Amino acid sequence: MIRLTKYLKPYLSMIVLSIMLLFVQANADLALPDYLSRIVNIGIQQGGVDSAVPTAIRANQMERLSLFLTPEETVRVLAAYTRVDVDAPDYAATVQAVPGVADEPVYILASTDDGEIAWLDSVMAKALLSVRGLEQVMANPTGSASAAEAVGMDLTSLPPGADLFALLKSLPAAQRDQIGAAMQAQFAALGERAVRQAAIGAVKTEYDALGMNTSGLQTRYILRTGLLMLLITLVSVAATVAVGYLSARTAAGLSRDLRHLVFQKVESFSSAEIDRFSTASLITRTTNDVTQVQMVVIMMMRLVFYAPVMGVGGIIRAVDKGSSMWWVIAVGVAMLLSLVAVIFSLSLPKFKAMQQLIDRLNLVLRENLSGMMVIRAFAMQPHEQQRFDKANLDLTDTSLFVNRVMVVMFPTMMLIMSGMSLLIIWIGSHQVAQAQMQVGDMMAFMQYAMQIVFSFLMMSMMFIFLPRAAVSGGRIADVLETEPTIRDSDAPRSFPEPFNGTVEFRNVSFRYPDADTDVLSDISFTALPGETTAFIGSTGSGKSTVINLIPRFYDVTAGQILIDGVDIRDVPQHDLRARIGYIPQKSSLFTGTVESNLRYADEGASEEALREAIEIAQVTEFVESSLGGMATEIAQGGANVSGGQKQRLSIARALVKHAPIYILDDSFSALDFKTDAALRRAMKERVSRSAVLVVTQRVSTVMNAQKIVVLEMGRVVGIGTHPDLLETCPTYREIALSQLSLEELS
């Protein structure tokens, strides 16, 4: 996969935007459990009161609070409030929200500075709790001994109904300081969270005393927090949809580019590279392998950047909610990673093998489809079915093994997560009972734990699927990074003008890649324009190999091939092949019409040129007898025409090109002798100025050639005309006599 990252450059902006959106999505998802915690803790348990700083407090209560504050703290607290009574300008507006202001003066919170509110929260929580404790003692002197101890006062000698606040106010400063120190010790033992939560209860009591609508306060807080959660959820949904769109666009664009680049690269391959990869493998690399890469790119853009943010952010927020339970998450993640490691070790070898098995299946299938007639002719359907079944079953067994491993993974993962949830509830309930944690915080911690586990799971899943995609990416990169053995010269030359088309082989030798011996040795001859140069020899003598060197399907191992005195390796391949009309041994037609196949040689050819070509190729009768004429449909590979019709259409296609050089590689093999003779006569007139190189097995085809090159075991054993070779070349004479009688040969 790393080797393909450079092809992501055009999509860098979309990837960066996706990362930004994933960061927004992750933070939105991480915020939701915290808001749920607030609804439970503040909205339900605390009645919507989120701070120990009352927004309104009676004047006498403020006076009582000052008994538990230092003079400096008292001044600062009073500065944060505004005193409102019946004579105040804003009395009318205040009495609507705080009815108690009609009975006595009230202090209304005026400060909105976050730093000041945080300081007030810390200071007033302890003072409010102290005041509430004394009020409980005054209301029930015999049953509130613990409250009295909390403020460090001995009440055994006090008369019933005594005003403890007046008594406290009358005490000497030293004694009040002693009581304050005892209070601070009690608060330290309780913990800041417990003190603050208890003080919020005192704030609610104060609101009830003032006649404020506490139920409305609770409802408003829950609705406000719920709407905020809904807004955050919508932001997360929008970011998710946007990331999905961007990842799909990026992955689809990359797969499109890779398919285009692979196809473009394959088109530049010589026969050596095609032989190296095989056709079936190249098809798999262009389709299945690219699809694997596409899927992983989508997963990476949606998960790889998202999961770490969720994991790290979830750990930070979870520890903040319940620092004493961090080990639960650590145990869960460790178990999950151990599970993934086992699955990874079992699945990785199978993932790597799957692509080779798909190659094998495609190869068998392609051979069966292309050789269907041969298979039927030899009644080998059972044998081929066994071959296909073996390839199919091997792939199926591997896929089933991987799927079985995955089936085990998900129930085990759910078991781990359920165990974590139970453990969190068990430990958290004890901490809630001991006032060390609130219920909402426990719920939030559980959700954060699930988010952390899922984030690690997503990253682990990526590491499971990545190896298969890495194999596919490597296979694609192998094709893209393969340099064709046949390349244009760094200093290309042009053919001289006017172009004649003289082809000269000068001491040419050739061996196939990775072969040990030469298949052609020291071949030398010259094919002149206006002449037919024929190649004949026994099977495997090297006839097709010789002419395949002219269009540079392969490059010579030694020697030179010259056209008009210029080495063909010094000329751009396009310029070379533009001057050659090539008719391959195995005729190949493309899906389309007769006309589209003929125009393959020259898109701008006139109707007259097309008619002339099909007339010379002796295919006029077939075209005109078809209902569509030139628009007659040609099936894939020319499956709806006979071998002879396919061969003649291939010849007509080459003739449309009006090339100075024609190469016919056994192109008359499917023709009867009458059609063969008629076609050669018509071609002789049409290509009278071109160099024609013909490979054939038929002596009758080469008898009238101006030059015949006889090959045997990759060597030239004779060059001359038909009469000369009958006299001087035993190999040619043997071939000729095996086909024709002496009378026919003479």
Instruction: Report percent pLDDT > 70 for the chain.
Output: 93
- Tokens at residue 545, please? 């190999």
> What is the chain's mean pLDDT, rounded?
84
Q: Say if residues 375 and 368 touch (Cβ distance below 8 Å).
A: yes
424, with CB counted inside 10 A (0-12, 13-18, 19+), is buried
Q: Are 697 and 669 in contact (CB under 8 A)?
A: yes
Supply the pLDDT for residue 637: 73
Instruction: Cis check for the bond before 498: say yes or no (omega within 30 of 0).
Output: yes
Reading across the β-sheet that carries 715-720, which strands appear in turn?
Answer: 580-583, 661-665, 691-695, 532-537, 707-712, 715-720
Strands (E), 638-744: 661-665, 691-695, 707-712, 715-720
The Cα–Cα gap between 130 and 187 comes to 10
- Distance in angstroms (rounded) separating the CA atoms of residues 445 and 253: 41
Of the spans 205-209, 557-561, 604-608, 738-742, which averages the highest pLDDT? 557-561
Q: Give the closest residue to 691 by CA, choosing from 665, 660, 657, 719.
A: 660
First-to-last alpha carbon distance for the chain, in angstroms, is 68
The DSSP code sequence of 235-285 is HHHHHHHHHHHHHHHHHHHHHHHHHHHHHHHHHH--HHHHHHH-HHHHHHI
Beta strand 520-527 with 503-510 is: antiparallel
Range(s) within the chain of domains with CATH label 3.40.50.300: 503-579+659-745
Q: Is the dihedral of CA 400, 403, 409, 415 positive or negative?
A: negative
What token pair was written down for 663? 């190469």
The pLDDT assigned to 149 comes to 52
What's the maximum distance between 2 C-alpha atoms anywhere in the chain? 154
Percent of the chain with pLDDT over 90: 17
CATH 1.20.1560.10, the chain: domain bounds: 267-480
- Band of pLDDT at residue 279, cut at 50, 70 and 90: confident
CB within 8 Å of 368: residues ≥ 6 apart: 375, 384, 387, 388
CB 657 within 8 A of CB 688: no
Give me the helix-helix angle, 326-370 and 439-480, nearest 10°.
Answer: 30
Predicted pLDDT of residue 742: 75
What is the predicted pLDDT for the residue at 521?
Answer: 92
Question: In the predicted model, is pLDDT for residue 475 greater than 90?
Answer: no
> Which of 199-203, 490-494, 606-610, 668-672 comes out lowest in average pLDDT?
668-672
The dihedral region occupied by 658, where left means phi > 0, alpha psi between -120 and 50, and beta the remainder, is left
C-alpha Rg value of the chain to the nearest Å = 46
What pLDDT does 448 receive? 84
CA 3 to chain centre: 14
Structure tokens at 375: 């298979």
Tell me: pLDDT of 447 over 70.
yes
Dist CA 693 CA 582 (whole Å) = 10
Read off the pLDDT band of 746 (50, 70, 90): low
pLDDT in the model for residue 159: 60
pLDDT the model gives residue 196: 80
- DSSP secondary structure code for residue 631 in this structure: G
Model pLDDT for residues 539-549, shown as the tens digit of each residue: 888 888 999 89
Which of 238-242, 403-407, 559-563 is predicted least confidently? 403-407
User: In 466-548, where do the E strands start and end?
Assistant: 503-510, 520-527, 532-537
Element (H, E) at 33: helix 12-38
Q: How confident is the model at residue 252 (pLDDT cuts 50, 70, 90)?
A: very high
Separation CA 733–CA 711 (nearest Å): 13
Q: What is the pLDDT of residues 646-673, one digit of tens each?
A: 888 888 888 888 889 999 888 777 677 7
Q: What is the structure's pLDDT at 678?
A: 82
The long-range contacts involving 677-680, CB below 8 angstroms and separated by at least 24 positions, are 678/618, 679/616, 679/617, 679/618, 679/648, 679/651, 680/704
Q: Tell me the whole-structure pTM to 2 decimals.
A: 0.72
Tokens 């230092």, residue?
70
Q: Which of 210-214, 236-240, 284-288, 643-647 has the highest mean pLDDT?
A: 236-240
List pLDDT tens digits, range 492-504. 888 888 888 899 9
CATH class of this structure's domain 503-579+659-745 = alpha beta
Dihedral over Cα of 83, 84, 85, 86: its sign: positive
**C-beta of residue 690 within 8 angstroms of C-beta of residue 530:** yes
Residue 155 pLDDT > 60, yes or no?
no
- The predicted pLDDT at position 272 comes to 77
Sign of the dihedral defined by the CA atoms of residues 368, 371, 373, 379, in that order:
negative
CATH architecture of 267-480: Up-down Bundle (1.20)
Residue 621: CA count within 13 A, CB half-sphere: 5
DSSP of 558-612, one letter per residue? EEEEEETTEEGGGS-HHHHHHTEEEE-SS----SEEHHHHHTTT-TT--HHHHHH
pLDDT digits (tens, 9 = 90+) for 385-422: 888 888 889 888 888 887 887 777 778 878 888 888 88
The token pair at 31 is 């915020």
